[in-house]
Structure 1
Amino acid sequence: MKATTISVEDLMTQSGQVPYTKSLKIQVVAITDVVNYRNDKNESKSLMNAAVVDHSKAVKCTIYDSTKFPRFKEGQYLILRNVIKKTDGVVVTSNTKVFTCAPFEFELPAAIQQRGREILNPPPAPVVNVKEALDFPPKARVTVRGKVVQEEATREVFVTGVLFKEEKTKVKNIYIENTSSRCKVSLWRENTEESVRPGDYVQITDVVTNSYRNEVSLSTTFRTKISTYEVDPVIALASDETCPLNSKDADSVDPVLDLSPDFPISSKLDSNNNSLEIEEPETLFDSLGGKLH
Structure 2
Amino acid sequence: MLTLAKLRVSRGNKPYSLPLKVKVCGRSGVTSYQVDGGEKKEYRVLGVADRTLAMKAILYDMTKENMVEEGNSVILMNYIYKTEPESIILTKNSKVMKTSNIDVGEELLDRGRFIANPPPAETITINKVKSSPVKTLVSIQGRVVSEEMTRTVKVKGNDVQVKSVTIKDETDSVKVSLWRHLSDSAGVGKFLSFTDLVVTSYNDEVSVSSTSKTTIKEKEQPTTVVRGSIIAFEPNDVSLDLLVSVGEDFPTYTVSAEILVKLFGCTLENLTETLQSKLPLPCMMQVKNTTIEEITH
Fold equivalence (TM over 0.5): yes
What is the identity, as a one-letter code, of the residue corresponding to 2:162?
A: V
What is the identity, as a one-letter code, of the residue corresponding to 1:209?
A: V
Tell me by how many angstroms 1:244 deviates: 7.8
Tell me by how many angstroms 1:155 deviates: 2.5
Task: Write the distance in 1 (CA, Å) between the matches of 2:46 and 2:97.
Answer: 15
Matched, 1:69 2:75: no
1:1-293 aligned at under 5 Å gives the runs: 2=1, 5-7=2-4, 11=7, 17-32=13-28, 39-43=35-39, 45-86=41-82, 87=85, 89-104=87-102, 107-159=103-155, 167-197=158-188, 200=189, 202-213=191-202, 215-221=205-211, 222-227=213-218, 229=220, 235=226, 245=288
Tell me by how many angstroms 1:216 deviates: 3.8
Does the 8 Å contact 2:146/2:165 carry over to 1?
yes
Q: Deviations over 1:162-204 (max 9, x none)?
A: xxxx75432222222345333221212222112422xx25332
Aligned to 1:272: none
2:130 counterpart SS class: helix
Q: What is the identity percentage for the equivalent residue pairs of Structure 1 and Structure 2?
A: 30
Does the 8 Å contact 1:229/1:244 carry over to 2?
no
Does the 8 Å contact 2:152/2:160 carry over to 1?
yes
Does the 8 Å contact 1:26/1:77 carry over to 2?
yes
Q: Aligned-residue CA RMSD in angstroms? A: 3.7
Determine which structure has the larger strand proportion and give its number: 2
TM-score (norm 2): 0.61
Against the structure 1 CA distance between its residues 43 and 143, is the aligned structure 2 distance closer, same or farther, given a 3 Å change threshold? closer
Against the structure 1 CA distance between its residues 14 and 155, is the aligned structure 2 distance closer, same or farther, given a 3 Å change threshold? farther
Aligned to 2:231: none
Task: Write the distance in 2 (CA, Å) between the matches of 1:135 and 1:47.
Answer: 33
Q: Deviations over 1:24-68 (max 9, x none)?
A: 321111235556766444556444443212234433322222432
Higher relative contact order (CA 8 A, sep 6+): 1
Against the structure 1 CA distance between its residues 183 and 101, is the aligned structure 2 distance closer, same or farther, given a 3 Å change threshold? same
Task: Write the distance in 2 (CA, Å) between the matches of 1:168 and 1:11.
Answer: 39
What is the identity, as a one-letter code, of the residue corresponding to 1:177?
A: K
Give 5+ residue unaligned stretches, structure 2.
229-245, 247-284, 290-297
What is the identity, as a one-letter code, of the residue corresponding to 1:59?
A: M
Does the 8 Å contact 2:3/2:50 carry over to 1?
no
Q: Deviations over 1:101-153 (max 9, x none)?
A: 3333xx32322211222333333444321122233345544332334344232
Moved more, 216-225 or 92-101: 216-225
Task: Write the distance in 1 (CA, Å) between the matches of 2:10 and 2:199.
Answer: 27
Size of the alignment, in residue pairs? 231
2:65 counterpart SS class: helix
